[in-house]
Amino acid sequence: MSFTLNIVEHELEPFGRVVRTFDGNPVLGEVRHYLNAATAEGPATLYVCDNEIDVLAAHQAGCYAVYVGPDAEEPVEGAVLSVLEGEAASVVFDALLDIARRYSDWERSMDFLRLTDGSLQDLLDVSEPFLRNNVVVLDPALKLLAYTKNVPCDDPITVALIEHGYHTDENVRKFKLHKRFKPWSESDGFVINDTHTICKYVTVARSFKSRSSFSIISVMMCNVADPDPYLLDIYEMFIARIGYYAERDYPDNKPSGSVVDTFLKDLLSGGVVDEGAIVERSQYVGIPHDARFCLFYIKAGEHSMPSSRLLSDVSLSVAPAKTVIFDDAVVVLCFNCQNSKCAQHCLAAEACPHNKRTVSHRLNDLLERYDLTCGRSSKFTGLWHTRIAYEQARQAYLISQDKSIVANDPVERRIWSRIFSFDAYAMTYLVKKMSGDELNMIRLTYAGAILDEMAEQDKASKTNNYEFLNAYLVHERRLTVVAEKLHMHRNNVSYRINRIEKQFGIDTNDPKLRQDLLLAYAIRNDIMQGAQ
């Protein structure tokens, strides 16, 4: 049995003028009339006193005391609450006993439902008289799990939710527009919203998260009673039982439910390609259909751990991203990124919903421990591109297994020691897919022929025009930057490029030629790496 001092203060308001002189909010277990210090049992009991002497004695014994003074006008020092100018001590004592009984019965009912596997709706049904307001409980896909059936509701958002059984696309767009998902996903306590931008009433939301998934959300719409401290304490008592269902249905060792696995495998295999069907199915598995996605492909090594164990460890590391085993590899679908400026590598810690370390940070650390690598797809914004992203990540992983490529990898192409991005290796992939004749066709363009000639002359005359021109183009012809990179004076950079242009008959002011030269460099570098 438990109730807080906030609750007692509210419940006693009909019995007199309640004055609180204690800042804390202790959890209390039972109510007794104070007799003497020998019978005092400590701070879990709330004692009722009708005189100042007993209040002081109870206080000195380390107990919480309520002073009842029907004829008194001032509170008594040492009492946590004073009930003044109201009912007699016997009446207040009886009321407190009734309060303790009602809350005890409610807790027993909730705990009985938990132990007998009652539903969330059953839990909400027995809690309606205490919560007073309209409350809804949702799953990660914003599907309705339970709601208060006997509390009148005139809020359009909630009415639509109850009518459809899930939040409509229009409601979800409103949540995104007003950034409701961010505090839900990050906060470990109540999220109180009093802006009235979506719901016409103040709302109090509480979300539950496991290490492997985002789970249950409970939202109280304060359409009957305001979110005063006592009501938040009552809501917390209810929420504590909701937490059991969140842990039961979304345990840490369960990477994803079978519905999620099936949906991911259909996306990866191309078994579902219709955009409408993807949007509809995504609503029920907790995955948005439009977000900033990227996909990771991880294969357990030949002498490494089983894929199922790797799946469990990866799932715990990258949550709330979704994981699945597909074609004997662990595939991670990440949609955590909330930073529109994050192009590929999720470098900024604030881009992660955890506000800690990004998925790439966490995954790279895990792969370091297990001496594994993974491929990463390009960013994509629609689930219907998942199949292509999967192939990108798989090919990036296969490239990571080519020791000749990795050994000669330019530093600027790699940010993570264990994660290989397809964006950085797209040209490598193209070169590997071409035959000898096809490579020569691409290599022997006008720009390619210039670079061939330049490389041969460098070899004969022991110059480095080939490397100099590459640096000059890569750093966008900024003389100061090029000079710093090559440890030269900027005047020498200008002199050198003019001499190269004259010697090889090129004009680097021509943007098309610059583009062709950079492409030719990329092709030559990948061909040379493949030949080593």
Same domain for 123 and 238: yes
The residue length of the chain stands at: 532
In the chain, the amino acid numbered 486 is: L
Task: Name the residue range of residue 288's domain.
Answer: 258-425
Which mean pLDDT values do the consecutive 10-residue runs of the chain (532 residues) have?
Answer: 88 96 90 77 83 90 91 92 94 94 94 88 94 88 83 86 77 72 70 84 83 71 93 94 78 54 86 84 80 89 59 79 86 78 56 62 86 90 92 91 68 72 81 75 83 91 91 90 90 92 92 87 69 48
Q: Is residue 207 part of a domain?
A: yes
Decide: residue 512, CB within 10 A, 0-12 exposed, 13-18 middle, 19+ buried.
Answer: exposed
> Residue 40: which residues within 8 A CB-CB, separation 6 or more?
34, 47, 58, 61, 62, 63
Strand 64-69, strand 3-4: pairing = unpaired
Task: Kindly state whether residues 278 and 224 are assigned to the same domain.
Answer: no
Query: In this structure, are 274 and 408 located in the same domain?
Result: yes
Q: Which two tokens mark 207?
A: 């979300």
Does residue 36 sit within a domain?
Answer: yes
> How crowded is residue 73: how many other Cβ atoms within 10 Å of its Cβ?
10
Per DSSP, the residues of 116-165 read TT--HHHHHHHHHHHH-SEEEEE-TT-BEEEE-TTS----HHHHHHHHHS
Asked if residue 34 lies in contact with residue 54, where contact means CB atoms within 8 angstroms, the answer is yes
CB 342 within 8 A of CB 388: no
Boundary (domain end) residue, out of 249, 283, 298: 249
Strands 380-382 and 290-298: antiparallel
Q: Which helix (H) or strand (E) holds 216?
A: strand 214-221
Q: Which two tokens stand for residue 379?
A: 């960013």
CATH of the domain at 236: 3.30.450.40
Is the residue at 344 inside a domain?
Answer: yes
Instruction: For residue 431, tell me if it sits in a domain.
Output: no
What CA–CA distance (Å, rounded) separates 358 from 137? 29
Per-residue pLDDT, 127 = 95
Neighbours of 281 (CB within 10 A): 20
| Cβ atoms of 376 and 396 closer than 8 Å | yes
75 lies in the same domain as 203 = no
The phi, psi pair for 521, rounded to 5°, reads -60, -45
Compute CA distances 155 → 128, 179, 394, whole Å: 18, 20, 48
Return the SS3 of 76. coil
Say how many domains are in the chain.
4
Cα 382 to Cα 113: distance, rounded to the nearest angstrom: 41
pLDDT in tens, 111-156: 999 888 788 999 999 999 999 999 999 876 677 889 999 988 888 8
> According to the model, what pLDDT value does residue 130 have?
95
Residue 188 located in a structural domain: yes
Question: ω before 320 within 30° of 0 (cis)?
Answer: yes
Domain boundary (395, 425, 455) is at 425
Boundary (domain end) residue, out of 249, 277, 298: 249
Residue 298 lies in a domain: yes
Closest CA to 500 of 481, 527, 477, 484: 477
Q: Are residues 61 and 186 in the same domain?
A: no
**What pLDDT does residue 255 have?**
44
Q: Are residues 396 and 280 in the same domain?
A: yes
Residue 24 is part of a domain; what is its CATH number?
Answer: 3.40.1390
527 in helix, strand or coil? Answer: helix
pTM over 0.75: no
Do 292 and 358 belong together in one domain? yes
- Reading the block at residue 48, the tokens are 């009722």
Q: Are residues 141 and 264 in the same domain?
A: no
329, 398: one domain: yes
What pLDDT score was predicted for residue 234? Answer: 95
Between CA 318 and CA 334 the distance in angstroms is 8
Q: Around Cβ 39, how many Cβ atoms within 10 Å?
A: 12
- Classify residue 430: in a domain, yes or no: no
DSSP-assigned letters across all residues of 473-517: HHTTT-HHHHHHHHT--HHHHHHHHHHHHHHHT--TT-HHHHHHH
Q: How far apart (Å, rounded) are the C-alpha atoms in residues 327 and 324?
A: 10
Please indicate, yes or no, whether residues 211 and 270 belong to a single structural domain of this protein: no
Give the 3-state secondary structure of residue 28. Answer: strand
Find, among 414, 426, 457, 447, the residue nearest to 526 by Cα. Answer: 426
Asked whether residue 31 is domain-assigned, the answer is yes
- Residue 84 and residue 209 share a domain: no
- Residues 70-89: pLDDT tens digits? 999 999 999 999 999 999 99
pLDDT of residue 303: 46
Q: Are residues 442 and 419 in the same domain?
A: no
pLDDT of residue 212: 44
The H or E element containing residue 89 is helix 89-115
Q: Are 7 and 238 in contact (CB under 8 A)?
A: no
CA 362 – CA 271 distance, rounded (Å): 31
